[in-house]
């Protein structure tokens, strides 16, 4: 009888199909076994059984392209999954929170700070703060060891400045010089005082709403409650109204004396320096000169929100190549922001690309959202600023890049050797 029971038990055991762990299954195609186990164990250690939930599995799937694009370690990948899970629980969508990934991918930040930076990007984008300014501002704030709440408060001061026509690029410099760096842990009165000071107390009604709502968020630091950022949604109508403001249409206040945060980025409606003489016939590109200019950048280290030989990000690199005197695209035609570069020239298909075309990619689940740009050197190769390798040359038809391709734009009318 015992033998029969044991036999039946064994048959039942081996007749049950063994399903793969969905968490490991997501990771194994991009990391080896030990790396996958490290990521999984780290996430399970911090999230417990929630790590196997549908919500966390979805976040993990969406994080993988970002982790590869940013070249982050397995430990940092696990941290990103945990941080994004927290941000989504707090009331942000993944697509809103993911904009914080390039900022924090090489830094150690708490999940609370990560969420505040995600909220900063959501609000400054909705309010129409220029991408070059908002990116450089948060990078400079991180270099000064600001916490996420101070970043959000500074972003709201930038938005309030737009309401009363302060030049945002110069206002950003003033905020960085005067705001407290540890906003979460100090009395709100100090933040409010700095907020009013940088704006010379020129606050309009919507600015007051932004400030009072910021106070509610600060008070929320004292209690642990789910969806803490839900109260921030009450300012969204004001943010949309700010986003519709065209600065040049209104009388300007006295210009700020502070230097611009982003050099060579004129404020709308302000007098600019005389244009540098454009290279004659720049619309005809010499592919050999482009190759030479681009290769001089190879090896330049990656630095987010920068555009220099000491460090550059992807759109900073394409900006510098296009406006190099030997290529000659007029600076006023080229933005330092990848989203604006998608509007240059005319669209071309992946199979039609040639020397001088811009090529755009996405690591986001929203595949129309551009997160990376490179410069096509020829039909086979493109140059770009990689987060891990600096400026490098890669093959256009590598599967990973094909899977992430969004669009390409033609800047030059003619190409010669």
| Residue range 281-304, pLDDT digits in tens | 899 999 999 999 999 999 999 999
End of a domain among 185, 219, 242?
242
316 and 196: one domain?
Answer: no
**99 and 86 inside one domain:** no
Residue 145 lies in a domain: yes
> What pLDDT digit, counting tens, does each position of 237-248 carry?
888 888 887 766
Question: Does residue 77 lie within any of the structural domains?
Answer: yes
Q: Which residues contact 101 (CB under 8 A, 6 or more apart)?
A: 66, 70, 80
**Confidence class for position 13, pLDDT limits 50, 70, 90:** very low
Q: What is the domain count for the chain?
A: 3
pLDDT at residue 164 is higher than 70: yes
At 130-155, the pLDDT tens digits run 999 999 999 999 999 999 999 999 99
Last residue of a domain, one of 75, 90, 105: 90
The whole-chain average pLDDT of the chain stands at 89
Indicate the residue among 211, 226, 242 that finishes a domain: 242
| pLDDT tens by residue, 191-234 | 999 999 999 999 988 899 999 999 999 988 766 566 677 778 88
Asked whether residue 256 is domain-assigned, the answer is no
What pLDDT does residue 252 have? 61
Q: Is residue 1 part of a domain?
A: no
Is there a single domain that holds both residue 152 and residue 57? no
pLDDT band at 2 (very low <50, low <70, confident <90, very high): very low
The DSSP line for 116-143 is HHHHHHHHHHHTT--HHHHHHHHHHHHH
pLDDT of 3 reads 46
Residue 252 lies in a domain: no
Residues 198 and 112 in one domain: yes
Domain shared by 144 and 41, yes or no = no
72 has a pLDDT exceeding 50: yes
User: Is 10 within a domain?
Assistant: no
pLDDT tens profile 301-352: 999 999 999 999 999 999 999 999 999 999 989 999 999 999 999 999 999 9
What confidence score (pLDDT) does residue 152 get? Answer: 97
Give yes or no: residues 380 and 319 share one domain.
yes
106 and 82 share one domain: no
Confidence of residue 18 (pLDDT cuts 50, 70, 90): very low
Does residue 2 sit within a domain? Answer: no
Q: Is residue 247 part of a domain?
A: no
pLDDT at 270: 66
Considering only CA atoms, which of 370, 364, 369, 367 is closest in space to residue 98? 364
- If you average pLDDT over residues 94-113, what whole number do you get? 91
Phi, psi of 383 (to 5 degrees): -105, 145
Q: Are residues 233 and 103 in the same domain?
A: yes
Q: Are residues 212 and 345 in the same domain?
A: no
Q: Domain of 367: which CATH number?
A: 3.90.1720.10
Question: CA-CA distances (angstroms) from residue 109 to 121, 145, 202?
Answer: 16, 10, 33
pLDDT at 251 over 90: no
346 and 382 part of one domain:
yes
Please check whether residues 201 and 139 belong to one and the same domain: yes
> Sorting pLDDT into bands at 50, 70 and 90, what band is 25?
confident
Per-residue model confidence (pLDDT) at position 23: 85
Same domain, yes or no, for 95 and 236? yes
Query: What is the domain range of residue 41?
Result: 31-90
Give phi and psi for 153, each to the nearest 5: -60, -40
């Amino acid at each position: 009888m015992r033998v029969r029971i044991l036999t039946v038990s064994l048959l039942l055991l081996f007749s049950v199909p063994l399903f793969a762990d969905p968490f490991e299954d997501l990771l194994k195609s991009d990391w080896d076994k030990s790396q996958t186990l490290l990521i999984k164990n780290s996430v399970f250690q911090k999230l417990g059984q929630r790590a196997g939930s549908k919500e966390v599995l979805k976040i993990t799937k969406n994080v993988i392209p970002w982790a590869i694009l940013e070249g982050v370690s397995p430990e940092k990948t696990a941290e990103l999954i945990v941080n994004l899970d927290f941000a989504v629980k707090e009331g942000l969508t993944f697509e809103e929170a993911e904009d914080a990934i390039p900022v924090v991918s090489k830094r150690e930040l708490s999940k609370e700070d990560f969420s505040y930076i995600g909220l900063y990007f959501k609000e400054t984008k909705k309010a129409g703060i220029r991408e070059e300014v908002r990116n450089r501002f948060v990078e400079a704030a991180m270099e000064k060891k600001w916490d996420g709440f101070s970043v959000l408060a500074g972003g709201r001061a930038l938005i309030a400045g737009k309401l009363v026509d302060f030049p945002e690029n110069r206002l950003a410099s003033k905020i960085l010089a005067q705001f407290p760096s540890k906003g979460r842990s100090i009395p709100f009165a100090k933040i409010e005082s700095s907020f009013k000071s940088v704006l010379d107390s020129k606050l309009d009604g919507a600015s007051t709403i932004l400030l009072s709502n910021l106070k509610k968020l600060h008070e929320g630091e004292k209690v642990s409650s789910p969806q803490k950022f839900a109260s921030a949604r009450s300012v969204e109508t004001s943010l949309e109204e700010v986003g519709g403001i065209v600065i040049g249409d209104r009388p300007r206040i006295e210009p700020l004396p502070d230097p611009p945060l982003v050099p060579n980025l004129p404020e709308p409606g302000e007098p600019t320096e005389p244009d540098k003489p454009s290279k004659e016939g720049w619309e005809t590109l010499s592919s050999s000169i482009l190759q030479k200019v681009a290769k001089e950048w190879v090896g330049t280290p990656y630095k987010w929100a920068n555009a220099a030989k000491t460090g550059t990000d992807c759109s900073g690199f394409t900006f510098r190549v296009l406006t190099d005197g030997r290529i000659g695209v007029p600076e006023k035609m080229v933005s330092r922001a990848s989203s604006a570069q998608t509007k240059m020239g005319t669209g071309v298909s992946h199979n039609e690309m040639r020397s001088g075309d811009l090529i755009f990619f996405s690591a986001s689940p929203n595949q129309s959202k551009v997160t990376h740009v490179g410069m096509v050197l020829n039909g086979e190769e493109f140059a770009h600023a990689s987060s891990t390798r600096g400026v490098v040359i890669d093959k256009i038809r590598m599967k990973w890049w094909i899977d992430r391709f969004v669009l390409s734009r033609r800047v030059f009318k003619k190409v010669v050797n």
